[in-house]
Every structure is written in structure tokens, then in C-alpha cells.
Amino acid sequence: MKGHESADLDLERQPDFSEDPRKIHDSLVRVAWFTNLASPYRLPVWEALARSCQLTVFLLHPDASVATDARRGDDWTAASASSQHVRFQPLESRFVRYGDEPYYILKRHSARLVRDFDVVVLAGWESPAYWQVAMACRTARVPYISFYESTMATNRFRRGPVARIRSAVLTGAASVVVPGKAAQRAVSAAGVDDSRVRRGFNPVDGAYFYQAARDFRDASQSAAGRYSYVYIGQIVHRKNIDALITAFETLPEFSTLTIIGRGPGSDELASRIIRSEMTNRVTVIGFAQNRNIPSELAKHATLVLPSLTEVWGLVVNEALAAGLHVVVSHCCGVAEEVAEMPGVWVTSTDANSIAEAMRESAVQWNGPLQNPPILEYSPDRFADVFLDAIRQAVTR
């Protein structure tokens, strides 16, 4: 597929570590991946990566806190992350919330965490914990790779000390992996030379979503109505759900909308639906486990993600893989990457634009998409991007 990878990166090529002088332990390089949570959507990438290296995933967010978080299920915990090849290691950390986001700091000296590894992957930069690990890597002379997903639109700090820290973390990396063109532009703005950037495509396990949705449709013997819409995500201001409701009010009375998710705005959303007298058209499902998302998607024709700001929007991948149409705002990092795919409408964030795209999607609905192009962007393919970055790091 054109336009989604760096010109110097062949995603079909398997990295070859046969000449790596640091090759150890059955010819596998030891990799430490530091991240916040055991994200279910990231597990297939870790599994693919672990087939070519020894991978340990260090988790900053404590399981006990995940259990009390209304926005996520227990399948986001280290305890639930099951893998034959990936080792998960919870870390002792503290965190505070600023707005919707947690920020972590490690309780123990981070140098001990990195010295037994050949390469470190930092899946963030915004928390002091990531700064601690980056400094530990420099002290221990262990190269690190920065996995950077933000875009210029989601960068809250363009200048000042926070922007300088971000730039230091990125420019200090042996290489930077980004999931799309929007993230690459942000990395370039931070001072990273394009020669050190590896660009891929942020994936989900598309084959699973495609088959699971297909199996549900076959078992239920039901077809989604062309005016059936679904939103999946947190109920927070930045998701622009108020505009979605306003847009939906203008659609035919037989249209239906299902909202799946929870968050600080849940009570206000419920009140808005009652005031609009749409309780017979709008269904709110407070939460759905990730394993149930394919069947929920399969009940609908169009996913709508109207966010005011969104680093990526993996639910768009999931919906397309499940055969749905997608209406997605241009503020989502995924929008630029899927804009030319069949069944996609990229829209502005105002209610009129969202409503127009929803109508067009309904008119063009002809049943689930067959073999959608999103399936080409697999976790294995994204793992290859990291493997290329790892090879670059250990052979510098």
C-alpha cells in the first residue's frame, strides 16, 4: 500500500541479526518495553515481536488501580495478559492524574531495570518514569527506541520546559518508531532527523475482528440496518459526543445509535438523551469487554468517532476490520491513514458535517465490507518496524 511506510523501510523484510556482535541467548536480542498498561490491542504486536527477540514488558500502572477504573476492564491488567513468549513485569510506581491522564514516577532506581537488556523501547515520554528510564539507558550505555504516537494536534506543549524534555527524549533515542504520517511530522518538529524515524501503521488484530464479526453475523442470522450507528470509547469532552448527539437528532426517526463506554460525562450524556426524547433511539451500554467488541460492531453499519483530539483511534481499525463503514473526524491520527479506504468518511468536528457524513454512509451501505484493506496492516507487519529499529540500535 503506498504512502504508509518510510521509503527506506521494507516491511516485508525480516531483520537479520546473524552478524550482530551482541547476539546472545539462543541468538535472541533482549528487549525491554516500558509502557503504562497491558493494552489488549498491543498484545498481538508484542507476541509477534517476541518471536524474534526476548521481550519483557514493564508496566507502570498498578493492576489494583485498573480494577477501580470505570473506563477499562480487567483485560487491561498484567494478571490477565497471557502469553507464552512475552514476560510481563509490573513496576513499583506512583502516579497522579492531571485531567484524564495519569503521570508516573518510578519508586526504585531505574538503572537496575535496564542493565540486563540490549535494547529498551519507551512507549511514552510524558511521565517522569520515562525520563528516568531514558537517563538510566544513557548511564548504562543501553540504546533505547522511542515509540511516539502523538501528533502536532495532540501536542499540548509547543514550547517551554515540557517541550524541551520531549525533544531531549526523542533526539536521544537510537531511533523513533511512529504509527503514521501525522506522528512523523510531530517527531520532525521535535528535531529528530528523518533518517532515524521508522514509520509503520498502528494495528489491531484485524484478522480476529474480521472473523469474529463474520461469525456473529452468521450465528445471529441478522443484518445491520443501514441507519444503525455505534460509538465506542470514553465518555469525555474530547470525544465530542455532544456534537454526535446533535448530528444524530437530524437523522431519520428510524435511525439508531448505540454508545458503548463510560467516563466522567456519563451522567450528563444520559440526561441529554432524556431531554432530547431519544431514549427509544439511543442505547447506552456502559461498558463492553474487548473480547465482546467484534459482536457489538457487527450489529451496526457505521462507527462514528467525532473526536476533537485523538492520538490515533484504534477503534476505527477494529470497525473497518469488522466490515463497518467509518465516520471519523480529521482530528484523529488514524484519519489521514485510512482516508482513501472504502467505507471511510473523514469529517470536521461540527454537528452538521458529522450528520452529512452519517447520511452518506447510510446511503452507500451495501452490507459488510469484504476483505477490507485495513487487514493488510497486521501486528506482524508493525512488529517488523520495531525489529528494524532494534537492529539499527544494536549495530550502531
C-alpha neighbours within 13 Å on the C-beta side of residue 1: 17
Higher-confidence position of 4 and 159: 159
- The reply to whether 334 and 198 lie within a common domain is no
pLDDT value of residue 32: 97
Q: Are strands 53-59 and 86-90 parallel, antiparallel or unpaired?
A: parallel
Q: Are residues 139 and 253 in the same domain?
A: no
Pair 128, 245 in one domain: no
Q: Are residues 156 and 241 in the same domain?
A: no
Shared domain for 183 and 223, answered yes or no, is no
Nearest CA-CA partner of 334 in 325, 324, 342, 344: 344
Q: What is the mean pLDDT of the chain?
A: 87
Residue whose C-alpha is closest to residue 204's, from 320, 83, 298, 50: 320
Query: What burial class does residue 221 get, using C-beta atoms within 10 Å of its C-beta: 0-12 exposed, 13-18 middle, 19+ buried?
Result: exposed
Q: What is the pTM of this model?
A: 0.87
**Residue 165 sits in a domain of what CATH number?**
3.40.50.2000
Q: For the chain, how long is the longest CA-to-CA vector?
A: 68
225 in the same domain as 148: no
Q: Under a CB-based contact definition with an 8 Å cutoff, are residues 209 and 231 in contact? A: no
Answer yes or no: do 368 and 386 share one domain: no
**Considering only 25-34, 128-137, 189-198, 324-333, which range has the smallest mean pLDDT?**
25-34
Residue-wise pLDDT for 213-264, tens only, equals 999 999 999 889 999 999 999 999 999 999 999 999 999 999 999 999 988 8
User: Where does residue 276 rank: exposed (0-12), middle (13-18), buried (19+ CB within 10 A)?
Assistant: middle
CB 232 within 8 A of CB 283: no
Clarify whether residues 252 and 310 are in a common domain.
Answer: yes
Quick one: pLDDT at residue 3?
A: 34
Q: Are residues 148 and 218 in the same domain?
A: no
Say what percent of the chain tops pLDDT 70: 86
Assess whether 244 and 278 both reside in one domain: yes
Kindly list the strands in the beta sheet with 144-147, ordered across the sheet, starting from the edge strand earlier in the chain.
86-90, 53-59, 29-35, 119-122, 144-147, 175-178, 197-199
Confidence check: pLDDT of 26 > 50: no
16 domain residue, yes or no? no
The total of structural domains in the chain comes to: 2
Provide the H-helix boundaries in the chain. 43-50, 63-67, 111-114, 128-140, 161-171, 181-189, 206-220, 241-249, 266-275, 293-298, 314-321, 335-338, 351-364, 379-394
Strand partners, 303: 230, 326
Q: Is the residue at 8 inside a domain?
A: no
Could you tell me which residues are beta bridge partners of residue 186?
none
Output Rg (C-alpha) for the chain, integer angstroms: 21
Q: Give the domain range for residue 231.
A: 206-376
**In contact, 105 and 129? CB cutoff 8 Å:** yes
Which of 364, 313, 312 minimizes the C-alpha distance to 343?
A: 364
In a domain, 13, yes or no: no
Q: In terms of domains, do 249 and 347 share one?
A: yes
pLDDT at 162: 80
pLDDT score, position 236: 92
Residue 23 lies in a domain: no
Residue 11, pLDDT score: 32
